[in-house]
């Protein structure tokens, strides 16, 4: 599929050409890569948000598990002290 963009400032075209050259690509290849990246930005942002939420939930669960372990350790120590009598 082809996309044509008209009326692009020559300074911008020159900068795009410089960037393409720095990446050892043609202007067309460089612009295709840029458009591809731009098109997936919302998907990446959504995935990043889901990942951050998952990490938050996991941290909460780990903190809860740690509280339970600490409580169990205290209870075990008390039981151990009673059995030593």
Confidence class for position 81, pLDDT limits 50, 70, 90? confident
- Tell whether 79 is covered by a domain: yes
Assess contact for 55 and 65: CB atoms under 8 A: no
Domain of residue 77, residue span: 10-84
- Tell whether 58 is covered by a domain: yes
DSSP state of 32: H
Contacts (Cβ under 8 Å, ≥6 apart) of 19:
30
User: Is residue 65's pLDDT more than 80?
Assistant: yes
Q: What is the pLDDT of residue 85?
A: 64
- Tell whether 4 is covered by a domain: no
Predicted model pTM:
0.56
Round to whole Å and give the CA distance between 79 and 56: 35
- Tell whether 1 is covered by a domain: no
Round to whole Å and give the CA distance between 14 and 11: 5
pLDDT tens digits along 16-58:
999 999 999 999 999 999 999 999 999 999 999 999 999 999 9
- Tell whether 41 is covered by a domain: yes
Q: What is the pLDDT of residue 13?
A: 97
- Tell whether 21 is covered by a domain: yes
Q: What is the pLDDT of residue 28?
A: 96
Look at the chain and report how many structural domains it folds into: 1
- Tell whether 44 is covered by a domain: yes
């Amino acid at each position: 599929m082809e996309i044509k963009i008209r009326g692009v400032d020559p300074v911008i075209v020159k900068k795009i050409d410089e960037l393409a050259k720095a990446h050892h690509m043609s202007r067309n290849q460089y612009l295709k890569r840029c458009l591809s990246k731009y098109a997936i930005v919302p998907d990446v942002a959504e995935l990043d948000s889901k990942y951050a939420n998952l990490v938050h939930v996991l941290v909460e669960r780990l903190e809860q598990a740690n509280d339970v372990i600490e409580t169990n350790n205290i209870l075990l120590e008390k039981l151990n002290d009673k059995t030593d009598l």
